[in-house]
């Protein structure tokens, strides 16, 4: 009898406990994560040089934001630096909430020195690795950090659970102040100086002078599997990444799960993220992780490899690490082959909802040109353009102008195709084909489907270009070398499991086709994520109109929105 009573008591206690756990789970799912970002200048030393840099909370790189799918995020940014500041939450879709997207003069005016602004957004339907960075001038050279979005409680990864996870942020370092370098380049009408080193988690590694203590190292245990969340935060370089003696299994890009595949190295463009699994299954020792530039055009780049250390537990630091065999700097074949392997997982839980019917076909040519500049050293300066339109940043944020119906800030006549057709990737051309300068964007009806073909050209030179679309993911349905053929190439599209992402590389002398559904109202920036080209005008925006439904229009702006 006593045993029966004891059993019933334990059963009742268990029910109560489960009830509490259920309540706890609900609370976790509806959590609000709060962060304070203090923009401040700090002296930092690299490569035997010390200089003041702009940081968040005195850290380089800045702090990681950890959230779960479904969380609300509040980040209060207080600007103590001399530069105006805005922060972009790269890859967060910001549904109806462009006020939290962050690109200066597109969705907000920058946060003035001494002022604060709270970014308030929800993480809905996304999980994986994204990142945040300054979105004004060249300040993202040092102002950046990771965003880690964990799945909802009780939802496992669609790949083996790793023993540990680490963020790997690839970046660049200049001896001089980056804003001075950019200004000097603009005054001369020439590209500014390339970086002095690449970095892994802010550190160049021991192959550079004065850098023994500026080396990132991760300790691993024999037989265990690790998840590396890799982010390319570099301003201007596509990068290879590899670990000596170890294979990498790609399982996610841009916070979208992929069909897993194994490779010795990855290629990652500025703005992109890639999650890989790596198993510590080699002879216990010390192995270099390394990153180096990919550039298959005749353009000078920083070709030195930055390194970090993949170190097995118990191995002394005196053991010399071995270097990985990275692809050659101009290995186009590897780049094309690697990107072709990227496919969406496309399962019932994680479907690839590719638009099959297209309402609007866009064709944008990417070009470089020289314009007259009497004050520049050579009497000219470089411009970059889409469809021969070089974008000029407004003085009033586009989203504010749209929402409050402020006239004269922008025009909605950005051309759907170039005004002049030519042999885009043929013999080098130096003509600028009448490049115009202005703030011109495209108006897109709500919920319409868009196909955009981005075509590189040989105006001055061919070059690869990573393009980022704010507010959306898109499907990369096709890519190729040479000129896009509208009669033949669409037949080769992958409309079953194309990779879904927010930043895509247009290959050197080639084209890329993307599709998306315009179901997020607002004004959304699209630009090359090479900061050099963005500054030259390689950018535009989409004005996605409000829908007819109650929850299909831009939400009202926050009260503390920075003034222009």
What's 214's domain CATH number?
2.60.40.420
For residue 21, pLDDT over 50 is answered with: no
In a domain, 297, yes or no: yes
Domain boundary among the residues 127, 154, 181 is at 154
Q: What is the structure's pLDDT at 29?
A: 52
User: Are 70 and 124 a contacting pair, CB within 8 Å?
Assistant: yes
Residue whose entry in the numeric block shows the structure tokens 């009806």: 445
Q: What is the structure's pLDDT at 300?
A: 85
Cα 233 from Cα 343, distance rounded (Å): 23
Q: What is the structure's pLDDT at 22?
A: 41
Cα 554 from Cα 564, distance rounded (Å): 20
In a domain, 467, yes or no: yes
* Domain shared by 442 and 502, yes or no: yes
302 or 81, greater pLDDT: 81
* Cα dihedral sign, 68-73-78-81: positive
| Mean pLDDT, range 71-100, rounded to an integer | 98
For residue 432, pLDDT over 90 is answered with: no
* Domain shared by 396 and 521, yes or no: yes
Lowest mean pLDDT among 190-204, 270-284, 308-322: 190-204
Percent of the chain predicted with pLDDT > 70: 94
Nearest to 341 by CA among 511, 514, 498: 498
Nearest to 531 by CA among 259, 141, 232: 141
For residue 8, pLDDT over 50 is answered with: no
Q: What is the mean pLDDT of the chain?
A: 92
* Domain shared by 270 and 393, yes or no: no
DSSP tag of 99 = G
* Domain shared by 269 and 373, yes or no: no
| Mean pLDDT, range 325-348, rounded to an integer | 97
Reduce the DSSP state of residue 315 to 3 states and report it.
coil
* Domain shared by 237 and 324, yes or no: yes
Q: Sorting pLDDT into bands at 50, 70 and 90, what band is 257?
A: very high
**Bridge-partner residues for 93, per DSSP?**
none
For residue 15, pLDDT over 80 is answered with: no
In a domain, 35, yes or no: yes
Domain boundary among the residues 154, 183, 202 is at 154
For residue 28, pLDDT over 90 is answered with: no
Q: What is the structure's pLDDT at 30?
A: 62
* Domain shared by 112 and 39, yes or no: yes
Counted domains in the chain? 3
User: Are 150 and 227 a contacting pair, CB within 8 Å?
Assistant: no
Cα 509 from Cα 461, distance rounded (Å): 9
| Mean pLDDT, range 253-271, rounded to an integer | 98
Q: E-strand spans in 233-373?
A: 238-243, 248-253, 256-263, 266-268, 273-279, 286-294, 306-312, 360-372
Tokens at 282, concatenated = 């080699």
Cα 164 from Cα 34, distance rounded (Å): 24
| Mean pLDDT, range 239-266, rounded to an integer | 98
Tokens at 486, concatenated = 């509208």
Q: Is residue 125 classed exposed, middle or buried when 0-12, 13-18 and 19+ CB atoms within 10 A define those classes? A: exposed
In a domain, 553, yes or no: no
Lowest mean pLDDT among 65-74, 91-100, 185-194, 375-384: 185-194
Cis peptide before 324 (omega within 30 of 0): no
Residue whose entry in the numeric block shows the structure tokens 């200089």: 51
Q: What is the structure's pLDDT at 189?
A: 67
In a domain, 562, yes or no: no
Tokens at 529, concatenated = 């994520």
DSSP string, 3-62: HHHHHHHHHHHHHHHHHHHHHHHHHHHT-EEEEEEEEEEEEEEETTEEEEEEEETTBSS-
* Domain shared by 37 and 137, yes or no: yes
Distance of CA 25 to the CA centre of its chain: 31
* Domain shared by 257 and 291, yes or no: yes
| Tens digits of residue pLDDT in 458-492 | 998 999 999 999 999 999 999 999 999 999 999 99
In a domain, 548, yes or no: no
**Bridge-partner residues for 245, per DSSP?**
none
Residue 94, CA distances (Å) to 81, 91, 514, 554 in order: 27, 9, 20, 10
Quote the radius of gyration of the chain (alpha carbons, Å).
24
Q: What is the structure's pLDDT at 502?
A: 98
* Cα dihedral sign, 381-384-390-395: negative
Cα 199 from Cα 60, distance rounded (Å): 11
Provide the CB-side half-sphere exposure for 86 (13 A, CA): 22
| Tens digits of residue pLDDT in 486-543 | 999 999 999 999 999 999 999 999 999 999 999 999 999 999 999 989 999 999 999 9
**Phi, psi at residue 67, to the nearest 5°?**
-140, 170
State which residues form the domain around 98: 26-154
Percent of the chain predicted with pLDDT > 90: 83
Residue 361, CA distances (Å) to 66, 481, 518 in order: 38, 20, 13
Nearest to 367 by CA among 399, 391, 337: 391
In a domain, 408, yes or no: yes
Domain boundary among the residues 126, 154, 182 is at 154
In a domain, 512, yes or no: yes
* Cα dihedral sign, 160-162-305-45: positive
* Domain shared by 412 and 521, yes or no: yes
375: Cβ contacts below 8 Å, ≥ 6 apart: 187
Cα 462 from Cα 288, distance rounded (Å): 33
The CA-to-CA distance between both ends of the chain, in Å, stands at 78
**Phi, psi at residue 491, to the nearest 5°?**
-65, -20
Compute, in degrees rounded to 10, the torsion defined by CA atoms 180, 181, 183, 184.
110
**Bridge-partner residues for 263, per DSSP?**
248
* Domain shared by 199 and 330, yes or no: yes
* Domain shared by 148 and 172, yes or no: no
* Domain shared by 310 and 210, yes or no: yes
């Amino acid at each position: 009898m006593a045993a029966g009573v004891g059993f019933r008591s334990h059963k009742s206690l268990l029910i109560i406990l489960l009830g509490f756990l259920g309540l706890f789970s609900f609370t976790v799912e509806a959590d609000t994560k709060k962060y304070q970002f203090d923009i401040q200048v700090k002296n930092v030393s690299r490569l035997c040089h010390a200089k003041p840099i702009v940081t968040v909370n005195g850290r380089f790189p800045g702090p990681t934001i950890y959230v779960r799918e479904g969380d609300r995020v509040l980040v209060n940014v207080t600007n103590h630096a001399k530069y105006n500041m805005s922060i972009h939450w790269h890859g967060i879709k910001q549904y109806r909430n462009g006020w939290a997207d962050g690109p200066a003069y597109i969705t907000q005016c920058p946060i003035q020195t001494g002022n604060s602004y709270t970014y308030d957004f929800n993480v809905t339907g996304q999980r994986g690795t994204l990142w945040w960075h300054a979105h004004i001038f060249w300040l993202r050279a040092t102002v950046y950090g990771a965003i880690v979005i964990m799945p909802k409680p009780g939802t496992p990864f669609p790949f083996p659970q790793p023993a540990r996870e680490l963020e790997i942020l690839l970046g660049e370092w200049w001896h001089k102040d980056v804003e001075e370098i950019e200004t000097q380049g603009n005054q001369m009408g020439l590209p500014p100086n390339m970086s002095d080193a690449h970095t892994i988690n802010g550190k160049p590694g021991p192959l550079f002078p004065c850098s023994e203590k500026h080396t990132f190292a991760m300790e691993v245990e024999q037989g265990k599997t690790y998840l590396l969340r890799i982010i390319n935060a570099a301003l201007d370089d596509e990068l290879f990444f590899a670990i000596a003696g170890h294979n990498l299994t790609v399982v996610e890009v841009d916070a979208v799960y992929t069909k897993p595949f194994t490779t010795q190295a990855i290629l990652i463009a500025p703005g992109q993220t890639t999650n890989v699994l790596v198993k510590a299954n080699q002879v216990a020792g010390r192995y270099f992780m390394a990153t180096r530039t990919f550039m298959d055009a005749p353009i000078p780049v920083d070709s030195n490899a930055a390194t970090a250390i993949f170190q097995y537990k118990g191995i002394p630091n005196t053991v010399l690490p071995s270097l990985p065999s990275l692809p050659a700097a101009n290995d186009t074949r590897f780049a094309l082959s690697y990107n072709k392997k990227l496919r969406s997982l496309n399962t019932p839980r994680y479907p690839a909802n590719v638009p099959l019917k297209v309402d609007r076909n866009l064709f944008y040519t990417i070009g470089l040109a020289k314009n007259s500049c009497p004050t520049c050293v050579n009497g000219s300066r470089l411009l970059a353009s889409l469809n021969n339109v070089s974008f000029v940043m407004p003085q009033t944020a586009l989203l504010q102008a749209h929402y409050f119906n402020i006239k004269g800030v922008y025009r909605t006549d950005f051309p759907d195709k170039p005004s002049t057709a030519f042999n885009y990737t043929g013999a080098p051309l130096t003509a600028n084909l009448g490049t115009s300068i202005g703030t011109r964007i495209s108006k897109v009806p709500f919920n319409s489907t868009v196909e955009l073909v981005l075509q590189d050209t040989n105006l001055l030179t061919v070059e690869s270009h990573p393009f980022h679309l704010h507010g959306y993911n898109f499907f990369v349905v096709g890519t190729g070398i040479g000129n896009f053929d509208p009669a033949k190439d669409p037949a080769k599209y992958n409309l079953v499991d194309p990779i879904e992402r927010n930043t895509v590389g247009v290959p050197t002398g080639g084209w890329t086709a993307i599709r998306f559904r315009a179901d997020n109202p607002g004004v959304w920036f699209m630009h090359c994520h090479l900061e050099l080209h963005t500054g030259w005008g390689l950018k535009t925006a989409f004005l996605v109109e409000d829908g007819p439904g109650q929850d299909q229009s831009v939400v009202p702006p926050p009260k503390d929105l920075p003034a222009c």
